[in-house]
Amino acid sequence: KQQLRKTRNIIQKFAKECATPVTKLWHVADDLVSSMEASLASSNETSSTLNMIISSVTSLPNGEEEGVFYGVNLQGTNLLILRARLGGKDMPVSGLHREEISVPNAVLATTSREIIDFVATEIAKFVSAHPCNEAGTAAKKKKLGFTLSHPVDNAMPFTNHPVGEELVKDINQALKNHGMKMQVFALVDDAVGGLAGGRYYNRDNVAAITLGMSTKAAFAKPAQESELAQSPNSDELIISMEWGNFRSSHLPLTPFDTSLDAESSNPGNGIYEKLISGMYLGDIARRVLLEIAQETALFGSKVPPKLMTPYLLRSPDMAAMHQDTSEDREVVAEKLNEVFGITRSTKMAREVVAEVCDIVSERGARLAGAGILSIIKKLGRIENRKSAVTVEGGLYEHYRIFRNYLHSSVWEMLGDDLSDNVIIEHSHGGSGTGALFLAAAATRTH
């Protein structure tokens, strides 16, 4: 009985500190808008800003593009290569081929030049495996869009490479070396890719976010309203931001978050990311469970040693435990054993685990929802227009309860009258496919 009371006390305190009522979510969204404005206004980048970057992409697709296009998405160790034929106005996409290749660690450990060479080799293999038989296409240059996500491991050489023209030149050269008639038309981060994919299917699409291991956002802003000095050469500015660096006194941080941050590889940075992205959710839950284990002997008189290992609980396992609907919570029992070596757990312990996962994911998802509305608010589109936002990334795609919490936070924040104004869409065609649409859009202006 005493164990139960102590456990409830810890959980209730944690739940209270994690609470995200609508008023709080709007405070977070408003603060994020202010941070965006401050970041756009200042030219010197500091780690506390959102590092907003005007993308080199000057046009998004309009859905009328026609032709065969290629896309490449490189995220960490995962290389996705795509090809599809866009049919033109009101015509479907056809002949989609996609291949996922994992980049061997031996290649990742080399220089960016060698990684580029590896990518070019794989593209050449892909193109010969999926030949395009349309008349006239063989002689023409193939059009390639390229998206990159920040690799999990910052030591990956790609990040040290000047992303931009220099890298485009290197990729084009590598393609040439492999005898390819192919040219890179766009090279941007994967959030911009998501935006391009979203816009291709829906004209109202103005923003995209990625919610996987890490999180990023991009949005399109009418150029004439720009605060920037430079004269834009397109109707829209495409802006990408590392919103994971956002911080605000309104973010509901608990002592568990503070210690996670302090012990992380980048203390003081990525505060928003540490609340909402797939990299951290499991570890926040683990920290809470560890405290409960220490204070109440929930998993027996000896604290399971593996419960002390940082990042041992990953978000897919957390999701599996959270979403276990079996009466005895058998999945929770299995995962506790598999992940933490807890061979026996009481039903009460399993319920506590599910509850902790619920609190952590609800908070993360709702804060992500607030982030989405901050972009729509920044664009001045909350009230009188429809907006669509694309979300991609493993966390959103595979963690059903997280996704539901995110959607309902947006509806709650907008209220009944406005909730139809913002549509959240899962990326059509899947994560990483945006690169292909960027290539298509870029050729309109070339």
- The smaller minimum CB distance to ligand ADP, of residues 345 and 427, is found at 427
- The smaller minimum CB distance to ligand ADP, of residues 58 and 214, is found at 214
Residue choice 35, 39, 58, 149 for contact with ligand ADP (CB under 6 A) = 149
76 near ligand ADP, judged by CB under 6 A: yes
- The smaller minimum CB distance to ligand ADP, of residues 154 and 177, is found at 154
Residue choice 20, 35, 58, 75 for contact with ligand ADP (CB under 6 A) = 75
Residue choice 95, 232, 300, 316 for contact with ligand ADP (CB under 6 A) = 316
CB atoms within 10 A of CB 216: 24
- The smaller minimum CB distance to ligand ADP, of residues 180 and 319, is found at 319
| b/e map 404-416, b = 16+ CB within 10 Å | ebbbebbebbbee
- State the pairing for strand pair 66-75/422-426: unpaired
* DSSP state string for 259-286: HHHHTSSSTTS-HHHHHHSHHHHHHHHH
Residue choice 238, 313, 395, 413 for contact with ligand ADP (CB under 6 A) = 395
Q: Per CB under 6 A, which of residues 225..244 are in contact with ligand ADP? A: none
- Distance between CA 209 and CA 110 in Å, rounded? 30
Region near ligand ADP per CB under 6 A, out of 36-44, 63-71, 81-89, 312-320: 312-320
| b/e map 253-292, b = 16+ CB within 10 Å | bbebbeebbeebeeeebbbbbbbbbbbbbbbbbbbbbbbb
431 near ligand ADP, judged by CB under 6 A: yes
User: By 3-state DSSP, what share of the chain in percent is helix, strand and coil, each rounded to 5?
Assistant: 50, 20, 35
- The smaller minimum CB distance to ligand ADP, of residues 149 and 245, is found at 149
Nearest to residue 58, comparing CAs of 375, 442, 433, 439? Answer: 442
315 near ligand ADP, judged by CB under 6 A: yes
Question: Is the C-alpha dihedral spanning 411, 28, 217, 276 positive or negative?
Answer: negative
Region near ligand ADP per CB under 6 A, out of 40-48, 219-227, 291-299, 395-403: 395-403
304 near ligand ADP, judged by CB under 6 A: no
What's at 336, amino acid-wise? L
What's at 286, amino acid-wise? R
394 near ligand ADP, judged by CB under 6 A: yes
- Distance between CA 321 and CA 336 in Å, rounded? 9
246 near ligand ADP, judged by CB under 6 A: no
7 near ligand ADP, judged by CB under 6 A: no
Residue choice 126, 158, 185, 399 for contact with ligand ADP (CB under 6 A) = 399
Q: Per CB under 6 A, which of residues 12..71 are in contact with ligand ADP? A: none
Distances (CA, A) of 205 to 64, 160, 381: 15, 32, 11
319 near ligand ADP, judged by CB under 6 A: yes
Region near ligand ADP per CB under 6 A, out of 210-218, 231-239, 295-303, 332-340: 210-218
Which value, in Å, is the radius of gyration of the alpha carbons in the chain?
Answer: 23
Region near ligand ADP per CB under 6 A, out of 64-72, 209-217, 235-243, 416-424: 209-217
Q: How far is the CB of 8 from ligand ADP (least distance, A)?
A: 27
- Distance between CA 445 and CA 12 in Å, rounded? 57
Nearest to residue 237, comparing CAs of 299, 195, 289, 284? Answer: 195
Nearest to residue 67, comparing CAs of 97, 81, 88? Answer: 88
Q: How far is the CB of 75 from ligand ADP (least distance, A)?
A: 4
Region near ligand ADP per CB under 6 A, out of 31-39, 302-310, 315-323, 337-345: 315-323
Long-range Cβ contacts of 36-42 (<8 Å, 24+ apart): 36/241, 36/374, 36/378, 37/227, 37/378, 39/241, 40/227, 40/228, 40/239, 41/227
Binding mask 89-128 for ligand ADP (x = CB under 6 A): ----------------------------------------
- Distance between CA 82 and CA 202 in Å, rounded? 21
Region near ligand ADP per CB under 6 A, out of 129-137, 153-161, 167-175, 208-216: 208-216
Tokens representing residue 293 in the block: 């284990």
Find the distance separating the first CA and the last CA of the chain, reported in whole Å.
72
393 near ligand ADP, judged by CB under 6 A: yes
Region near ligand ADP per CB under 6 A, out of 111-119, 248-256, 311-319, 365-373: 311-319
Q: Which residues bind ligand ADP (CB under 6 A)?
A: 75-76, 149, 152, 212-214, 278, 315-316, 319, 393-395, 398-399, 431
